[in-house]
Structure 1
Amino acid sequence: MFEYDDLLVNDHKQVQRLKIADTLSKLFAERASQNDEEGRFPFENFKELKEEGFVKLTVPKKYGGGDLSLYDFLLIQEKIAEGDGATALSLGWHNGIVMNIRDSNKWDEQKFAQICYEIVNEGKLINSCATEPTSGSPARGGKPLTSARKDGNVWIINGHKTFTSLAPALDYFIVTATIEETGEVGEFLIPKEADGLRIEKTWNTLGMRATRSDDLLLTKVKVQGDALLSIRMQQKPEPQGWLLHIPACYLGIAKAARNYAVQFAKKYQPQSLPHPISEVPEVRRKVAEMDIDMMKARHFMYHVAYLWDHFPGKRKKMGEELAAVKYVVTNSAINIVDMAMRIVGGQSLMKEHPLERYYRDVRAGLHNPPADDLTFMKLGQKAFS
């Protein structure tokens, strides 16, 4: 098994969390195929994650959470993704959003305290909803067509959001909307019980099927004035370390694919050979190539996470590094899964084996932010600035 956790983990609490995560991951792996095939959100997995306190990991300690560092957050993401990438990515959005609010201090403290209380004591789930059918990814600068209009002390919100991960399980939706009176883009907190809020089942995809990233429809949704959480500033956005939960997830999928291929090679012996294919030089070369990709991606990602945690004064200058991590790790993960399938051969295409699911799931990383072309643009601009 590919494990370098001895290089990364040196704290008793880390070890205990990872042991629990490993146990959960193995359980999730048993359910992953059926959830994927049926495109069903893993409610059972999240019930167990809540019972083990994994939905409050990034909540500040003063509100009863784990106050997890970015480094430790990524370790959990990677481990859960070994069992089920869709569960890990879904968990990452929730915990990452909470981490971002915690570290940016962009919410009113009383509102944040209330949400943290509900997460810690009631297992509430939250995610951001920013992408729209025509405006595309917010990372490309599109202004939301979703609108918010003030009527006394009430906001009236209308719009259509896509890629709403965890849609059937969310308790709160953080919705970006253009404020009609000012043209500013605001973030609004909308509870699932709000009249006029509806989830439309549109998520029928190649990979990450169990994230249930369905469409969110908002028709004359009314929320109180304090539902406006923040105004999006026009200047260059701050680097967001929490988004590294995305590459950590795909690295976990790649690790699972690599380990599966190695175990397969140890056991599989065709009639044409007097030994298992693990002794074939080309198979060993491919495994070595996978391991080099894994080491390269893993050490890069965790080094940047370490810098983020220990040198907060440098975070504003880390945008290019964070984008580069996502590019390197995600593309390395895709290469690793592809190489694992080459080792296993035609059987890797069969539904009874997990490799074809790994192959579909890992490719979703190309479409998570930031996209590769935006990373190249960012790095190119920095080089010539």
Structure 2
Amino acid sequence: MSTELFITTDFQRRWVNKLTEAGPFFSSFSEPSDMLAKFPKESIQKLVDMGFTTLTLPTEFGGEGCTVTDMILFQETLARFDSATALAIGWHQGVVGELYESRKWNEVQLKQFSEAITTGALVNRSVTEAQTGSPTRGGRPQTTATRTAAGWTISGEKTFTTMAPALTHFLVSVWIDEIQQTGFFLIPRSSNGLSIKDTWHTISMRGTESQTLVLDQVHVTDEQLVEVNDSPRGNKQNGWLLHIPACYLGIAQAARDYSVHFAATYQPNSLNEPIASLFNIQTQIGKMDLELIKARHLLYDIAGIYDDSARRVHLQNELGVAKSIVTNSAIEIVNLAMRIVGAKSLELSNPLQRYYRDVRAGLHNPPMDDMTITKLAHAAISEQQ
């Protein structure tokens, strides 16, 4: 059970091989970064050095023109070795892919930022706030931009800023009272008044250090206002967010592989063969692969539709469905893996307990299951009206 069936180009093969060869390096940071809740900067730097962080840039901007299908293949591969590294860098990959696909920025802004990315810049959107929750639910940012003689002054706090210790740029959502709309400012890390507050005290994805971004009277220019939106981001089709379920599918694959190896090699003295010979263990293994096949085919099929502009127009709620199905399948796969391994899976030295904690985080990444299900219901009802 692997992604082999979905590798269709030399480009994909080359990068899957590169990530797999570097896999032990990424894996070496998984346990310590989780135990200490410290971001694996070495892993991200290695990805930068490999050129990975430029892949979703279009070729005319110095990248590889990576498609969404390419991206999810690479993200799933990376997540098998370290979930925190995969989820963190996935946000950068997805944001860059979305920016250069939508072309909301002007050509000068896109060119300047692409030059920063090709020299190692890392970016993520900072949109979630304590009072509003996920922006996909339509809440208005409490972070504000106030007009000044020289540009704007921004103040506010953003929670869940994944990869905060390594980001060089923050794409921050703010409420602009002057125009009564939400806008996004691109703010460099070096800006005066910008700081990171240590608030990341969770049981899941501890290594991502998704800390709180604090903006205290940060001065920015008009040129840094790169987007103005008049509707919630959750209303837009964004296939680049499929990096999220791809990460959790990679975790599920790692859990499946660990438990199958355990079953094939563990032989208690009450048996003459390893526990893989037992019917109930085989049933659990079969269920894991059933979930993997279902989830992977759905994810890659929908990514392929998104990559085809002629077919993309027919997508409605499929992106949310992919995230929901894959994430919940991933959780069930890890659950089954732990049932196979038994109490040993709860030992802190066992990776399954980390997979179990990390995969649960997927439920709280956008879009959430309730929103996806509600949208499906609304679509079905509207067809009858």
Structure 1 equivalent of residue 266 of structure 2 = 268
Alpha-carbon distance, 1:238 to partner: 2.0
Alpha-carbon distance, 1:252 to partner: 0.1
Q: 2:236 aligns with which of 224, 230, 238?
A: 238
Give, in whole Å, the separation in 1 of the partners of 2:180 and 2:320: 29
CA contact (8 A) 1:24 1:80 kept: no
- Aligned: 1:289 with 2:270: no
Q: 1:333 aligns with which of 327, 330, 334?
A: 330
Structure 2 equivalent of residue 204 of structure 1 = 201
What residue ranges of structure 2 are gaps of 5+ in the alignment? none
Give, in whole Å, the separation in 2 of the partners of 1:112 and 1:24: 31
What does residue range 179-218 of structure 1 map to in structure 2 within 5 Å?
Answer: 179-218=176-215
Q: 1:162 aligns with which of 154, 159, 164?
A: 159
Give every structure 1 segment of 4 or more consecutive aligned residues whose post-TM-superposition deviation is greater than 4 Å: none
- Aligned: 1:226 with 2:223: yes
Alpha-carbon distance, 1:185 to partner: 0.5
Q: Secondary structure at the match of 1:186?
A: strand
Q: 2:312 aligns with which of 315, 326, 346?
A: 315
Give, in whole Å, the separation in 2 of the partners of 1:63 and 1:330: 33
Q: Secondary structure at the match of 1:49?
A: helix
Q: Secondary structure at the match of 1:167?
A: coil
Q: 2:376 aligns with which of 358, 376, 379?
A: 379
Letter in 2 for 1:328: I
- Aligned: 1:356 with 2:353: yes
- Aligned: 1:126 with 2:123: yes
CA contact (8 A) 1:25 1:81 kept: no
Give, in whole Å, the separation in 2 of the partners of 1:319 and 1:50: 35
Give, in whole Å, the separation in 1 of the partners of 2:186 and 2:275: 55
Structure 1 equivalent of residue 276 of structure 2 = 278
Structure 2 equivalent of residue 3 of structure 1 = 2
Identity among equivalent positions (%) equals 43
TM-score, normalised by the number of residues in structure 2: 0.97
Structure 1 equivalent of residue 79 of structure 2 = 81
CA contact (8 A) 1:238 1:316 kept: no
Q: Secondary structure at the match of 1:207?
A: coil
Alpha-carbon distance, 1:314 to partner: 4.0
TM-score, normalised by the number of residues in structure 1: 0.97
Q: Secondary structure at the match of 2:53?
A: coil
Moved more, 180-189 or 215-224: 180-189
Q: 2:58 aligns with which of 57, 60, 70?
A: 60
Alpha-carbon distance, 1:104 to partner: 0.7
CA contact (8 A) 2:133 2:139 kept: yes
Alpha-carbon distance, 1:316 to partner: 4.5
What residue ranges of structure 1 are gaps of 5+ in the alignment? none
Letter in 2 for 1:255: Q
Q: Secondary structure at the match of 1:308?
A: helix
Alpha-carbon distance, 1:169 to partner: 0.6
**4 and 94 in structure 1: CA distance in 2 versus 1, 3 angstrom threshold:** closer
**170 and 93 in structure 1: CA distance in 2 versus 1, 3 angstrom threshold:** same
Q: 1:254 aligns with which of 245, 252, 255?
A: 252
Instruction: Report the count of equivalent residues.
Output: 381
What does residue range 82-121 of structure 1 map to in structure 2 within 5 Å?
Answer: 82-120=80-118
Letter in 1 for 2:87: L
Computed over aligned residues only, the root mean square deviation of the Cα atoms, in angstroms, reads 1.1
Give, in whole Å, the separation in 2 of the partners of 1:319 and 1:147: 33
Structure 1 equivalent of residue 42 of structure 2 = 44
